[in-house]
Amino acid sequence: MKRRERTRQLIELGGLVAKAGLIELTDDDRAVILGLLVEAAAKLRTDETGNQLTLWRRRGQRAFADTIDKD
């Protein structure tokens, strides 16, 4: 991956963390945010990966739709 593409990806992922409200909800505690992400990754390593991805995808799609509706 080229440097510019990686930078864009990291900025977009940071935007998702902000959009989810994690910065405010954790008082910008990066250890907590990382812990949340590590916990999510651990869930994805279980037998329930497909179900978990489906659940999170639906929630994410609703969150995106809510953002569009508010604009």
Question: What total of structural domains would you count in the chain?
Answer: 1
Whole domain around residue 42: which residue ranges?
A: 3-70
pLDDT band at residue 36 under the 50/70/90 scheme: very high
For residue 68, the model assigns a pLDDT of 78
Q: Residue 71's pLDDT band (boundaries 50, 70, 90)? A: low
How many other CB atoms are found less than 10 A from the CB of residue 22?
Answer: 16
User: Is the pLDDT confidence value at 26 over 90?
Assistant: yes
